[in-house]
Amino acid sequence: MAYNLKEVMATKPSRLTAGHRMCAGCGAPPVARMVMRALKNEDHAVVANATGCMEVSTFIYPYSAWTDSYIHTAFECAGATLAGAEAAYQSMKKQGKLGEGETKFIAFGGDGGTYDIGLQSLSGAMERGHDMVYVCYDNGAYMNTGIQRSSATPKFADTTTSPAGTVIPGKMQSRKDLAKIMVGHHIPYVAQTLGYLNFADLYQKAEKAIYTEGPAFLNVLAPCPRGWGYPTEDLMKINKLAVDTCYWPLYEVVDGVYHISYKPKERLPIEEFLKPQKRFRHMFKPGNEWMIEEFQKEVDSRWDELLKLEEITNK
């Protein structure tokens, strides 16, 4: 069935309800809401949420913005916790202890709880082959605890633990390519996406991930107005610039075969993405042009590599 935003919004309930306390202009709530909407109406979900912005803002005991079963788990444990719940479900199903209907297992974690602290349990769950989806909402730093750098933080970004100044020009290391690491686990489905305009790319990939048998991983860009320094109303503008500059390519890897979902007709230079964000403003000071040039080279290199992987794996 062809994707239709109006139909999805009219016929699918919001499983992340209004009343959560996420910041205005945050990219994470639209991501979680659309991922959950990709579930069939008759299916139930068990959601595991690593400690982070989304957890502290959507689950303030005894209140929850989630309408499905919800487990708050420690920073490092989302993958392991959900894998355990999925294993118990499979056992009970075999024993005939469950009624009709399907239960799907979805984990959410920020980049701190996914790229860094939670990577070990995530890797274990993927390697063991649990029938679950892990969704990383990537806002590029530890935003919940004061905007500290993570391994998802892009090079030269100004954070509280990689401050741009006279000694260092922001974070000095390149951003980890987590989607590629997940592809290396040889799981059935890996995708990189974001929530933009009619949310077609995000919805369709979430639906594929949820209904692919076995482990699946979604890496979803989720801009943060506090940490990135953009006006709250510019969320969709930032998302569009991320894909049109190829900073955040949209693609999926199905059984090891790469498919790029979006190739800009007129690719924009990376400064168009950097300029609206305060975390990169030092890069535009006289004498710092080399930072923009180096950033552009890295983006170009990763985009060219992705194009080659698509070509090679589709032969």
Contacting residues for 174 by C-beta, under 8 A, at least 6 apart: 154, 155, 298
Average pLDDT over residues 62-86: 96
Structure confidence at residue 11 (pLDDT):
95
Q: Are 59 and 66 in contact (CB under 8 A)?
A: yes
Choose among 106, 52, 79, 30: nearest CA to 227: 52
Q: Would you state the structure tokens that stand for residue 223, as one six-digit string?
A: 């801009």
> Residues of the chain with pLDDT > 90: what percent?
95
Structure confidence at residue 197 (pLDDT):
81
* pLDDT tier, 189 (very low <50, low <70, confident <90, very high otherwise): very high
Residue 296's alpha-carbon distances to 95, 169, 249, 281, in angstroms, are 56, 16, 14, 16
Q: 107 has which bridge partners?
A: 48, 134
Average pLDDT over residues 125-135: 98
Rounded CA-CA distance 107/118 in Å is 11
Domain ranges of the chain: 5-313
CATH class of residue range 5-313: alpha beta
Q: Is the pLDDT of residue 1 over 80?
A: no
For 81-85, 100-104, 144-148, 272-276, which range has the lowest pLDDT when averaged over its residues?
100-104
> Residues of the chain with pLDDT > 70: what percent?
100
* pLDDT tier, 141 (very low <50, low <70, confident <90, very high otherwise): very high
Choose among 144, 180, 148, 146: nearest CA to 161: 148
Q: Is the pLDDT of residue 113 over 70?
A: yes
On average, the pLDDT of the chain sits at: 96
Structure confidence at residue 61 (pLDDT):
87
Residue that is written with structure tokens 């689950």 in the block: 59
Structure confidence at residue 275 (pLDDT):
98
Question: How does pLDDT run across 79-92, given as a tens digit for each residue?
Answer: 999 999 999 999 99
* pLDDT tier, 274 (very low <50, low <70, confident <90, very high otherwise): very high
Average pLDDT over residues 173-201: 96
Average pLDDT over residues 183-207: 96
Rounded CA-CA distance 109/47 in Å is 11
Average pLDDT over residues 164-184: 97
Structure confidence at residue 89 (pLDDT):
97
Residue 34's CB: how many other CB atoms inside 10 A? 26
Structure confidence at residue 18 (pLDDT):
86
* pLDDT tier, 99 (very low <50, low <70, confident <90, very high otherwise): confident
Rounded CA-CA distance 280/10 in Å is 40
Average pLDDT over residues 230-247: 97
Average pLDDT over residues 93-122: 95
Q: Is the pLDDT of residue 237 over 70?
A: yes
> Kind of pairing, strands 257-260 and 251-254?
antiparallel
Note the Cα 151 to chain centre separation in Å.
14
